[in-house]
Structure 1
């Protein structure tokens, strides 16, 4: 529900406060860089934003195959890794143990954290359906590979994920019934089953109320307005009121079911999300963060 846009918004907001941000995409597509007006990155980092106050945003994409190649290269297989890729052996290695592909990506993120080259690393993680499996992967590998390199890697990743000072999960949704239900279910799975700390939830697509929508329409159309246009304006006003009321109900329901602070981002009307829209969203996010209580 707009998770990539939210990740980009969070990255820009942090950079505007002077932080160095590394924005990592793991879903196999580069969706965030174009929002900054930049070309999609590959496995190598690409700077997509540089702030006058010293902050910056760098983007990179991590795929399991790239992570596996790098891992093998640093563990004594540099000379034969290309031959392994051509022969299909890399795929065999990556799928030999369930969860290894996701562990490789998480392990690479852990290595980036250890490099200490950014104040903040933001991961545009998979959508809810795959996200839970993605985050559960280290547990599965640890329990399957009882000893050895994979076991050690899984334990180190779990140590990172389980430390609230190093990792927080921010869930993203929209103010509608089914997405709110999914957010609540996912939050309990992330915190209670997997053991990760949650940050504030982000609610996208908030439609602000407009003044005057409750006023009755004139009995007849004013000059320059046809009967059809007057009827359409009345329908639009009614739809806007209903939308605002519905989202208010869902936000209240979310607050009752999930005791987490909320960050709310406005609806951006348009077909694309570019630098101007991203800055508008980051303005709203910074304002929301400023009103939050300190994170527990």
Structure 2
């Protein structure tokens, strides 16, 4: 696929409140995007090492490594981006330091630099993303898409917008030029920021807040992903129906026990109905934000590689179908 025919967006940033399953969603999204003949890079930052266990693979390092086959025959690669290694790349790329950079790392100079300038760490991480998105090999793009398991919603805007501030401060030189170039990509149609939530009050409210902050920062919002949704639907049931059903089944014969069982089942039914109706209310609130909403099922046994493929198949129509050719 040539660069002129590549679909956009090509950088998918997945964020969400802790516990919403954003890492699983990012992994499933990478599988969904890796259609026939496509290569997708799945990236994590800040040393979290949350991706490898999902693929039953060894811990990821700075070197890109094949993780799994995507849907319909594509390939998914994984990488854990470390700020120190990214700085070595940066020094080699812009200052041609080569082995001298390794010497700086050995004596702690790189760690010192990223400690006294905390924003530099995020600049290096986002800069590495841009390099992966724009890299070419043998006349074609190295990756058709890059998916980032990003910091949580409380920090994602600062993480993505640090390059804007850096570009304003450094008016000239490689750092300023590099920062402005990364900022342009993050604020363009090449990028899409997806926010993951679950059907509960706090995660949905944090998603609403994150959406507002992303829009205010002029960062392109993609899908709102409502994750871990139970698949049941509301069905009208009353105590008489339950009692009749129990009688047909031959249980229980004792009237007192039967009444207690019916009452208990009615309580369970009322609680389940309330939960299901709440999901609908949360979905409506997300849809009011004007972004497409993708809904993923709750996997009671947890998410393993098989579960990732299941989630990917659900995600594919919305995520991949929403890509357009340019």
Q: CA deviation at 1:191?
A: 2.1
The answer to whether 1:2 aligns with 2:31 is no
Whether 2:32 is the aligned partner of 1:13: answer yes
Q: What RMSD over aligned residues (CA atoms) do the two structures have, in Å?
A: 2.6
Which residue is equivalent to 1:265?
Answer: 296
**Counterpart residue number, 1:286:** 316
Q: Aligned equivalents of 2:322 and 2:133: distance in 1? A: 26
Q: Is contact 1:98–1:141 with CA below 8 Å preserved after alignment?
A: no
- Deviation for aligned residue 1:3: 0.9
Would the alpha carbon gap of residues 249 and 294 (structure 1) be closer, same or farther in structure 2, given more than 3 Å must change? farther
Task: Provide the residue aligned with 1:253 in structure 2.
Answer: 285
- Matches for 1:122-161 after TM superposition, within 5 Å: 122-161=147-186
- 2:71 and 2:199 map into 1 onto residues whose CA distance is 35
Query: Residues 241 and 141 of structure 1: is their aligned pair in 2 closer, same or farther, counting only changes over 3 Å?
Result: same
The one-character-per-residue Cα deviations of 1:196-255 (angstroms, maximum 9, x if unpaired) are 211121111111224656353217675467767766544433332111111111111222
- Larger Rg over CA atoms: 2
Relative CO higher for 1 or 2, CA cutoff 8 Å, sep ≥ 6?
2
Shift of 1:180: 1.6
2:302 maps to 1:277: no
Q: Which residue does 1:73 correspond to in 2?
A: 92
Between 43-52 and 151-160, the greater mean CA deviation after superposition: 43-52
**Could you tell me the TM-score, scaled by structure 1's length?**
0.88
SS in 2 for 1:136: helix
Q: How far apart, in 2, do the equivalents of 1:183 and 1:52 lie?
A: 28
Q: Distance in 2 between matches of 1:87 and 1:265?
A: 48
Determine if the alignment matches structure 1 residue 240 to structure 2 residue 272. yes
CA contact (8 A) 2:31 2:70 kept: no
Number of residue equivalences: 291
Question: Does the 8 Å contact 2:104/2:110 carry over to 1?
Answer: yes
**One of 199, 204, 226 as aligned partner of 1:175:** 199
Q: C-alpha offsets along residues 51-85 of structure 1, whole Å, 9 cap, x if unaligned?
A: 58431100111021121122223322222223322
Gaps of 5+ in 2: 1-19, 136-140
Q: Equivalent of 1:101, from 117, 121, 125? A: 121
Aligned match of 2:8: none
Does the 8 A contact of 2:63 with 2:79 survive in 1? Answer: yes
User: In the alignment, which of 72, 88, 102 is matched to residue 82 of structure 1?
Assistant: 102
Q: In the aligned structure 2, how far is the partner of 1:252 from the partner of 1:229? A: 35
Please report the TM-score for the alignment, with normalisation by the length of structure 2. Answer: 0.80
SS across alignment from 1:34 = helix
- 2-side partners of 1:262 and 1:57: how far apart? 24
Q: Deviations over 1:127-150 (max 9, x none)?
A: 112211101211221222232221
Structure 1 residues 246, 264: CA separation in 2 closer, same or farther (over 3 Å shift)? same
Q: Which has the higher strand share?
A: 2
Q: Matches of 2:319 and 2:161 in 1, distance apart?
A: 29
Matched, 1:207 2:207: no
Q: 1:199 to 1:143 in 2, by over 3 A?
A: same
Instruction: Report SS of the residue matched to 1:260.
Output: coil
What CA deviation, in whole Å up to 9, does each residue of 1:19-76 have, x standing for no partner?
Answer: 2111111131221232223223211111111258431100111021121122223322
Q: Is the 8 A contact 1:22 1:118 kept in 2?
A: yes
Match of 1:45 among 44, 64, 73: 64
